[in-house]
Structure 1
Amino acid sequence: MATVRPLGPTADHGRSLALPQRTSKEACRPTRWLSSLLGLCEPARVTSSHPQSNGTISVVICTLDRPGSLGRCLDAVLAGSRLPEQIVVIDQGDAETTAAVLRSRSSAGVPLVHVRQGRRGLSAGQNAGVRQAHGDVVCVTDDDCVPDLRWVEVAEREHARGPRPLLLGGRVLPLPAEGERTVPLSTRTSTEPATLSRRDPPWRVGSGPNFSVSREAYLAVGGNDERLGTGAPGLAGNDIDLFHRIKRSGVETRYEPDMVVLHERATPAQYRSRRWTYGFGMGASVVAWIRDGDGTAVRILASWGLMRLRRLARARQRDTVVNELHLLLGTLRGMWHGLRMGPRRPAGEGPEDARTGRTTTNG
C-alpha cells in the first residue's frame, strides 16, 4: 500500500502532533411554543443493540473549488496511522479539477468516492456524504483542514468502547499563519476529555470541522438541517444544530482531545464576517428548536447570551469588542430569520436524489 506524505504544513512536522494519551414522548404538535417554554416535549431516542463499530469507517469531506486544500486534507488522511475503508468527497465546484485531485491519489489503497453535487451548501453536502458512506462510523472534516495522523485511529478507538451510538467531537487547532491569514478560526482547544449530558450546551461537543458519529444516529435525526449552514439561508449553525439534536435524542456524546484537526486561519475581515454569520446561525437554530417544541431551547439561548455578554464585558481590545458585538447582533438577526423559516425539509434518500449528480469511485 502506498504511503502518501502530507502536503503543506503537515510536511513540515513530519509526524503526528505530540498529544497526551489518554434516550420518548411523541413530538408536541399544536402547542409547540408553549410546550417548549414548559419543557414538555421530548425527542425520540436513538437506541441500538448492535455494536457501533465493526471496524468500518468512512471519511466525508465537502469541497468547493479548493483543489490545493483538498489535496492537502486527503494526503493527511491517507498518511494516517489507521486508514479508513472509504473516503467520500462531495464536490460542489469544478468536477474535473476535483477528479484530477482524486485520480492522483487513486493508488493509495483507499476507495475515493467522488460525488458531484449541483446543489450548494455544507449541510446538503454532508448529508449526501453520509448517505454515500458505507462505514458504521463516519468521520467528518472540511477541505481546508489537516487531520492529525491519529485522527481516524482515535475515532475508531472511542467508538469501539461501547455498544451504543456515539457522537464525538475533538480539538480544532490553527494551521500556521499564511500572509494575511493570521486569525485562528473555529478553534476548540480544551485538553480535558468530557462526557456530555443532555443539559450541556451543544457547543461543548466541538465544531463542524472535526467530529465523528455513528452513521445510524446521524440518519435517525434526519442529518443536517439544510436550511442552515454555509451556502444556505441560515448562513451557519448547522453543526451546533446537528450536535444538539443528536445529543438530545439520547446518543452518547463525548469530547475527546486526542481527536485533532488543524484548520486554516482567516484574515481579520473574514473572521469578523464569520462572527456575524456564526451568531446568525445560532439564533436561527435556537428559534427553529423552539418552533419544534424543544423544551431546552430557551435555556440554551439564555446560556449563549450570558456567555457572549460576559466575554464582551471582559474585552479590553477594540477588535474583540467589535467581534463580540457582531456575534450578538448576528444572533438577534438570526432569531428573526428563524421565525420566518419554512418547515424543515427531509434530506434526500440517496445518491439517486435529484440534488446529487454523478458518482465515481477511484481506488
Structure 2
Amino acid sequence: MPPEPRFPVTVIVPTYRRPERLAHCLAALSRQTLAPAQVIVTVRDDDPDSAAVATRFAGALPLEVAVVAVPGVVAAINRGIDQAQGDIVAITDDDAAPHPDWVERIEAWYHADERVGGVGGRDHVFHDGVPETGAARDVGRLQWFGRVIGNHHIGTGAARDVDVLKGANWSFRLSAIGALRLNTRLRGDGAQVQNELDFSLRMRRRGWRLVYDPSVAVDHFPSTRHDIDRRGAAGFHPRAKENAAFNDTLALMAHFGPVHRAVFAAWALLIGTSEFPGLAQGLRLALLRRDRHAAAKLRATLRGRVAGFRDGRKTDERETPA
C-alpha cells in the first residue's frame, strides 16, 4: 500500500533583533529530515540585521521574508499565517533550534486523526549552555478554577491531549485555523505573554484536539527580549507583569462561562500563583521567599486582573464560553 502523501508544512519564525540566534534557528531548519515547503521569517521594519540574516538562507530554504510595522509577536505571527501556503503551519521562536526530525514528526500527527488541530512538543531549555532538568507528566492543562499548568519544557512520557501548547514549539492545521488569528487585544509591544494560552483555548472551544508529544522537540535558548519584559536580563518590570496578568485574565474570561468566571476571579484575587500572585501568594512571596518585589508584583498583577475582568466581559468572540 503506497504511503500517504505528505502534507506541505509552512514554518513561521517571528524575530526581532536577535540575528545570531535567528541564524542558529534557520540552520537547524535547513537540516530537517522532512524539508518544510515554505519558511516565513517575519521581521520588523526597524530590524535590517535580522532581514539580512534571513536572506542569507534563501538558497538553503524555501524562505520568504515578511516585513511588519506593528510591534509584537501577535502581529508577526498573524502576518505569517496570512502568508502561509502549507496545509500545516508550524511556529517556533528565533531563539530555538528544532531537532532534525521536528517537521517530520509534526507532519505525521496530522495523518493520525483528522480531529487533531494542533500539535506541540517539548522545548529543551538551556541557560548558558546548561539544560534545565526535570520530568513532568502534567503538561499544558487548565484547571477548572483557572490555574494553568505549563511544564512544556520538562514534559515526559507518551503523547497526550492538552489544553495549551507553547509558542516556542507549536503547530496547527491551516484548515482548523481558518480565519482565526492571534488576539490583537493582548497587551505588550514584544512577547505579548500568554498569547499561546488565548489561541490554544480558542482552538479547543472550536472542538479541535491539541496534542503534546515530547518527541516533537526543539532546543530553546531564552534570549533577551527587546521590550519591557526582558525576562531575567533586567529584572522585574511592573508594566510587563500587569500586561501578562491582563492577557492571562482576558484569555480565561473568554473561555469560561459565568460560574467559572466567578470562581476564577475569587481564586485569582485571593490566592493566585507565584507568577500572578493574589493576596495569599503575595504574602508568601514577601514573608517566605523574601522577594523584595512582592508588593509591586501583587499590585501590578491586581491591576492587570481588574482590567482583564472588565475587558473580558466585553469579548466579541463568536465561540460560546465553556
Structure 1 Cα separation of the partners of residues 241 and 125 of structure 2: 17
Q: Which residue, out of 82, 101, 108, partners 1:157?
A: 108
Whether contact under 8 Å (2:187, 2:244) holds in the other structure is no
Q: Which residue, out of 194, 201, 205, partners 1:248?
A: 205
2:182 maps to amino acid: N
Q: Does 1:335 align with 2:322?
A: no
Whether contact under 8 Å (1:237, 1:278) holds in the other structure is yes
Q: Does 1:207 align with 2:159?
A: no
Partner in structure 1 of residue 24 of structure 2: 72
Equivalences for 1:254-265 in 2 at 5 Å?
254-265=211-222
Percentage identity across aligned positions? 27
Partner in structure 1 of residue 126 of structure 2: 175
Q: Does 1:98 align with 2:50?
A: yes
Deviations 1:278-315 (A, max 9, x none): 3342123233446xx67755566677786726995998
Structure 1 Cα separation of the partners of residues 217 and 166 of structure 2: 11
Structure 1 Cα separation of the partners of residues 157 and 265 of structure 2: 25
Alpha-carbon spacing, 1:330–1:314, altered in 2? closer, same or farther (3 Å):
closer
SS of aligned partner of 2:36: coil
Partner in structure 2 of residue 16 of structure 1: none
Partner in structure 2 of residue 318 of structure 1: 289
SS of aligned partner of 1:106: coil
Partner in structure 2 of residue 113 of structure 1: 64
Whether contact under 8 Å (2:58, 2:64) holds in the other structure is no
Q: Does 1:189 align with 2:140?
A: no
Alpha-carbon spacing, 1:298–1:214, altered in 2? closer, same or farther (3 Å):
farther
Whether contact under 8 Å (2:102, 2:216) holds in the other structure is yes
Structure 2 Cα separation of the partners of residues 235 and 106 of structure 1: 29
Q: Which residue, out of 131, 135, 141, partners 2:82?
A: 131
Whether contact under 8 Å (2:91, 2:169) holds in the other structure is yes
Structure 1 Cα separation of the partners of residues 119 and 184 of structure 2: 21
How many aligned residue pairs are there? 281
Q: Which residue, out of 284, 301, 306, partners 2:250?
A: 284
Q: Which residue, out of 174, 185, 189, partners 1:227?
A: 185
Structure 2 Cα separation of the partners of residues 53 and 322 of structure 1: 57
Whether contact under 8 Å (1:226, 1:345) holds in the other structure is no
Structure 2 Cα separation of the partners of residues 88 and 131 of structure 1: 11
Q: Which residue, out of 217, 222, 225, partners 2:176?
A: 217
TM-score (structure 1 length as normaliser): 0.64
2:67 maps to amino acid: R
User: Deviation at 1:213?
Assistant: 0.7
Partner in structure 1 of residue 320 of structure 2: none
Where structure 2 has 5 or more consecutive residues not aligned to the other structure, the ranges are: 133-149, 224-230, 318-322
Alpha-carbon spacing, 1:287–1:55, altered in 2? closer, same or farther (3 Å):
closer
Where structure 1 has 5 or more consecutive residues not aligned to the other structure, the ranges are: 1-51, 347-363
Alpha-carbon spacing, 1:330–1:284, altered in 2? closer, same or farther (3 Å):
farther
1:215 maps to amino acid: L
Q: Does 1:237 align with 2:194?
A: yes
